[in-house]
Amino acid sequence: MARILSILVGLFFTVALAWSFGKGAYQQITEPPAATAEHEFHLHPKEVSFASDGAFGKFDRQQLQRGFQVYKEVCAACHALRHVAFRDLAALGYNDAEVKAIAKGFQVPVYNNATGEVETREGVATDYFPPVLYGGQGTPPDLSLITKARHDGPAYVYSLLTGYQDQPAALLKKFPDSKTPDSLHYNPYFANLNLAMPPPLTGEGQVTYGDGTKATVDQMSKDVSAFLIWTAEPKLEKRKQTGWPVLGFLLFATILGYMSYRNIWAGKKH
């Protein structure tokens, strides 16, 4: 009796699934889903490597400072960095005075209790990067976590910055309706191909690096991506550096544990 009941319940689910499968397969054949431009022309991020990659990866402090410069001079016009405090920049190798000077360069909003107005004052080291007011088209995301908030984040940021191009003719030929609107910009690394952000890094020498590195678009993109790896995970170095001794000790302890296990079970067939 129980067996028959269970088979009936089983048939209920399996037949329902077979029905869904059959109808789905039928629809797939009669009206196959239309191909989309995103599906065919979206590209995965380019291969790019950073000093912080790999199990022994460490930040390249010089590069982080260059990346910060690119952020400050280019990205900061639209993108905030709200999880990062100025004091955190000490980790890039800036001394106290430099951190203070950087903080001073930013205006931080304060609410004036007496007047009820929001005023601004110069930033201090303990302040966080202030919000960026943006009135234009699109919603520039906060960049503090961007390299963790996208698949293959660092490579994505790098690819996006270097990936602006004219819309391929093949795309327009196949999808005549998918022409990039005038206010948007074609970029195959962006999920839906058309991005509100105009190419931010346009030419060599857009920033002037203090350390003499040549500021090509590729270099600046790489540097700012490296900087954004750091903003997303300032503890990355410490994490990897803690990992090795921990794993080493665990390996040692596990070998001891295995020997002890063999020892205790010696002569006991199992």
Partner 1 sequence: MSFPWAKEYKPSHPFMQWMDDRLPLPRLVYNSVGGGYPVPRNLNYFWNFGFLAALCLVLQIVTGIVMAMHYAANTQVAFDTVEQTVRDVNWGWMMRYAHANGASAFFVVIYVHIFRGFFYGSYKAPREMVWLLGVVIFLLMMATAFMGYVLPWGQMSFWGAKVITGLFGAIPFVGEPLQQWLLGGFAPDNAALNRFFSLHYLLPFVIVGVVILHIWALHIPGSSNPTGVEVKSESDTVPFYPYYVAKDGWAIGVFAILFCTALFFFPNALGHPDNYIPANPMSTPAHIVPEWYFWPFYAILRAFTQDFFFIPAKLMGVLAMFGAILVWFFLPWLDRSPVRSGSYRPLYKKFFFFGLIPAMAVLFYCGGAPAEEPYVMLSQIAALYYFAHFLIVIPIVSAIEKPDPLPFSITESVLGEDEAAKLAPAPSATVA
Partner 2 sequence: MAEADGVRRRDFINIAAVSAAGVAGVGIVVPLVSQMSASADVLAASSTEIDISSIQPGQAIKAIFRKQPVFVRNLTPHEIAEANKVDVSSLRDPQTLEERTKEGKENWLITMGVCTHLGCVPLGAGEGEPKGEFGGYFCPCHGSSYDTAARIRKGPAPKNLEVPEYAFTTDTVVKIG
Binding positions for partner 1, 36-75, rule CB under 8 A? 55
Closest among 103, 35, 110 to 72, alpha carbons compared: 103
Question: Of the two residues 46 and 240, which places its CB atom closer to partner 2 in the complex?
Answer: 240
- Per DSSP, 196 falls in state S
Helix (H) or strand (E) segment spanning residue 208: none
CB of 168 to partner 1, least distance (A): 22
Single out the residue of 89, 52, 59, 96 nearest to residue 72, CA to CA.
89
Based on the shown chain and the rule CB under 8 A, indicate whether residue 85 belongs to the binding site for partner 2.
Answer: yes
What distance in Å separates the CA atoms of residue 266 and residue 98, rounded to the nearest whole number?
65
| Least distance between partner 1 and beta carbon 252 (Å) | 9
* Size of the residue set binding partner 2 (CB under 8 A): 16
- CB crowding 192-221: b at 16 or more within 10 Å, else e: ebbbebebbbeeeeebebeeeeebebebbb
Q: Which of 33, 116, 212, 267 binds partner 1 (CB under 8 A)?
A: 33
Give 205 or 243: the residue with its C-beta nearer to partner 1: 243
| Residue 251 in the binding site for partner 2 (CB under 8 A) | no
**Which residues between 95 and 124 bind partner 2 (CB under 8 A)?**
124
Binding residue (CB under 8 A) for partner 1 from 111, 114, 173, 239? 239
In this structure, the strands spanning 118-122 and 185-186 are: unpaired
Residues that bind partner 2 (CB under 8 A): 85, 87, 124-126, 246, 249-250, 252-253, 256-257, 259-260, 263-264
